[in-house]
Structure 1
Amino acid sequence: MLALGGICPLAQAQPAAAPSSQTKPDYPLGAGDAIKIQVFQNPDLTIETRVSENGSITYPLIGAVQLGGLGIAAAEKKIADALQTGGFIKAPQVNIVLLQIRGNQVSVLGQVNRPGRFPLETANTRLSDMLANAGGATATGDDVAIVVGVRNGQTFRKQIDIASIFLAEKLQDDIVLQGGDSIYVHRAPVFYIYGEAQRPGSFRIERGMTVMQALALGGGPTVRGSEKRLRLHRKAADGSIEQISPNLTDPVLPNDVIYVNESLF
């Protein structure tokens, strides 16, 4: 234990600069986070430590302190109060510097440009913020994100239409994330076109896409093909394949296969 002679019990000074707590005031500390704790004019109380699995640290003079889940400012106040209540320092100025974030991270997986684990730098980090950290969806990524985590001790899963947050002003769907959440962006749904099409292949289904638009994406019919002789293969609910003669204004569904027949003339 530190000798009390090395501490200034009556120290009352102007607050020292707090480089980290001011840039991340709301970040909730979590297990694995590395922090540096300083008390102004008391260098003997400067330590670097890591938050344990149960959310606590051991600090000189006051022993175990539970910091897990507290924001930086709240953690500073809790240590300062303990030092003051214990009679060690009359008016302690405590500063916590966040050295490494490991406790509160979110995994972003699937069709994003930079998949990986990203820290929750503030307590109100939203889905759109985290997708931006991951570089957004790739060209083959879907407009829908699936968020999985735990809320109030129960498994949480929510499927969110990303574009509707902005296009339809569904701001409530831009949910606040929590440590341990996972975000998954699936491959965008596609349709297939072959036969007498200029560019046969698979293409992404855009919102509200019709058969006519799908045909245009395939370059339209060749000189031998006819837009009036289309055949659409669609998987039914029972797994069987239906053959449909579609209208040009019919919607295109995921995994539809459009065949462009030859013209009769």
Structure 2
Amino acid sequence: MQEPGTAYQRFRGVAGEGAIGALCVLSALMLLTIGCTTPAPPPPPPAVVGYLVGAPDVLLIHVLPEPVIEREVRVRPDGKISVDLVGDIQAAGRAPIDIAAEIQTEISRFKRDAAVNVTVVESPSQFVTIYGEVQQPGTFPLNSETRISEAIGRVGGPRPFASLNSVRLIRSQGAKTEIIEIELGNIQNGDLSTNYIVRQGDLIVVPPTLLAKVGYAVQMLLFPLQPIISGASSAGSIYSGVSNVRDAQ
């Protein structure tokens, strides 16, 4: 016959081992739960290409040091420009910085320590379209390198009910359509990380706020034959289409 104390000690030992095992299982489950609920890292931002030159853009070529060479050249229909001491260079379809790099490489054979800068002076080949909650929506030509904030400023700026941090830049590259989020409100506050350079054929959509969407919907129900003064009905339909395209990607 076992002594009561011995039996109790064995029971306590077994119970202790069971408790430790239960704690281990519980800890493992908690770690798994934390791992499952940890949000995935955000996707990398889209690679946004800057302004690409096209015919008949006008470029200003500036070459240092002294004697300074400064010339304005127009991109020919074949996409090329003629540069002193260098000859013909392909310009269409390239960024100004790439054109400057090639000119600098070629001209360095004749001019030591050459530093070349290429600036777009006129860009009649480029057009951008802006719809939605802006003062004067429509299509207009780009006269030079233009960023998002400048383009929206060209159409009078955003309206009071614009959703500033929900702006979309829609860019077609061949068969692919890229949708880039623009935080116009942050740009106005000094954060220029999404103040990209616009390109030929870009579409910028400035959607209304949620409150404005509700107001426009009520107005359409109450006054179906009265056009919405702000023209945001077209912006709403365009923005809805943008959302559908983005979700399909």
- Measured against the shorter chain, the TM-score band is 0.3 to 0.5
Which structure has the highest helix share of the two? 2
Give the structure with higher Rg (CA): 2
Which structure has the highest strand share of the two? 1
